[in-house]
């Protein structure tokens, strides 16, 4: 006995049929319900479109020749808001079937000739719903993988965050430094009109720009006297160390330029690569401005924080040599005219 001749129970699917022939719809409804499928029918394609915009359906059976819209026109409209709906086009005769190119272009999964025998149509529906099941499973797996990736990324961020805090815990005078630099960078980025994705890169990059100092000996990092040449050479290795720490993780690829090049100088006399001008990544130049400001306005083991006017004068003097001549004035405008924004960050992340 054929499947449609007996009552069966199937996985719940939402199926819609659209045909301007009410008799065809009545026959489809009887046959599909005998096979355990629920079917919603419409004779007006425009009305059906409005329902499809509001409700999810798994499969659509669609007549090709209809008034006031042909089936291909209906599909073209559907694809503007639903790329995944499985669609079977019904034709009165194979000579009236749409061109193969149209089927491909509109991503119509198949078509079937109308007849009194619904065997072929039922087979196509069953095949279509198997594809729907496969897509559901793929979506479920992708969602699980996305959740796992988020968990892994968070765990990695937390681990590196502990390393970052370990660096700052070495030196009580620089505690909060990376948080402030990160916030200053975002402040600059917003004034420059950068997009949200870049602002997030600035935020993360600022937090981890000095991560390489984990590899600098404490006696050098905490030395109160002037560093000798050998000690300074070791300090200058911290960007490279930082790149090695973060470089293997995909989630940090976008912030590597900040970690690597935040000590380059605009005149080419910085380290580690002696890049100059626009050779230095833009986001690293933003970090350099924020890092310089926070270094001068923070108390260090060998000096107190510098007066604000001295810091402003020093940054102006170094604009175009150490610091980017286009970014620095933007930040100094914030310092001079909107200092409450700077103060808020300094109060939140006190040393």
Q: Which pLDDT tens digit goes with each residue over 30-70?
A: 988 888 888 999 999 999 999 999 999 999 999 888 888 88
Q: What is the average per-residue pLDDT within 189-194?
A: 96
Q: Is the pLDDT of residue 7 over 50?
A: no
Task: Show the 3-state SS of the chain.
Answer: CCHHHCCCCCCCCCEEEECCCHHHHHHHHHHHHHCCCCEEEECCHHHHHHHHHHCCCCEEEEECCCCCCCHHHHHHHHCCCCCCCEEEEEECCHHHCCCHHHHHHCCCCEEEECCCCCHHHHHHHHHHHHHHHHHHHHHHHHHHHHHHHHHHHHHHHHHHHHHHHHHHHHCHHHCCHHHHHHHHHHHHHHHCCCCHHHHHHHHHHHHHCCHHHHHCCHHHHCCCCCCCHHHHHHHCCHHHHHHHHHCCCHHHHHHHHHHHHCCCCCCCCCCCCCCCHHHCCHHHHHHHHHHHHHHHHCCECCECCCCHHHHHHHHHHCECCCECCCHHHHHHHHHHHCHHHHHHHHHHCCC
Q: What is the pLDDT of residues 298-340, one digit of tens each?
A: 887 667 889 999 999 999 999 999 999 999 999 999 999 999 9
pTM surpassing 0.75? no
Q: Is the pLDDT of residue 207 over 80?
A: yes
């Amino acid at each position: 006995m054929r499947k449609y001749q007996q009552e069966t129970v199937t996985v719940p699917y939402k199926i819609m049929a659209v045909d301007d022939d009410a008799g065809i719809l009545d026959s489809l409804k009887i046959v599909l319900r005998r096979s355990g499928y629920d079917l919603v029918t419409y004779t007006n394609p425009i009305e059906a479109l409005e329902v499809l915009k509001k409700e999810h359906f798994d499969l659509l059976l669609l007549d090709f020749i209809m008034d006031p819209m042909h089936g291909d026109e209906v599909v073209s409209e559907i694809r503007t808001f639903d790329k995944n709906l499985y669609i079977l086009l019904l034709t009165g005769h194979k000579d009236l079937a749409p061109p193969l190119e149209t089927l491909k272009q509109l991503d119509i999964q198949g078509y079937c000739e109308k007849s009194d025998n619904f065997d072929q149509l039922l087979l196509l529906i069953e095949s279509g719903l198997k594809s729907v099941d496969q897509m559901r499973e793929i979506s479920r797996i992708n969602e699980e993988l996305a959740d796992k990736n988020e968990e892994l990324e968070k765990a990695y961020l937390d681990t590196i965050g502990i390393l970052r805090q370990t660096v700052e815990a070495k030196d009580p005078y620089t505690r909060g430094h990376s948080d402030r630099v990160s916030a200053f960078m975002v402040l600059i980025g917003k004034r420059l009109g950068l997009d949200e994705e870049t602002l997030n890169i600035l935020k993360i990059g600022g937090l981890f720009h000095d991560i390489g100092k984990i590899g600098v000996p404490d006696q050098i990092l905490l030395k109160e006297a002037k560093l000798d040449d050998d000690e300074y050479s070791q300090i200058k290795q911290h960007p490279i160390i930082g790149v090695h720490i973060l470089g293997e993780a995909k989630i940090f690829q976008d912030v590597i330029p900040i970690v690597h090049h935040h000590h380059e100088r605009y005149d080419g006399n910085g380290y580690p690569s002696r890049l100059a001008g626009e050779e230095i990544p833009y986001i690293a130049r933003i970090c350099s401005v924020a890092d310089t400001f926070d270094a001068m306005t923070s108390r260090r083991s060998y000096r107190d924080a510098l007066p604000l006017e001295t810091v402003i004068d020093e940054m102006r003097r170094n604009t175009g040599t150490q610091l980017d001549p286009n970014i620095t004035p933007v930040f100094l405008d914030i310092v001079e005219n909107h200092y409450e924004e700077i103060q808020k960050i300094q109060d939140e992340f006190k040393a």
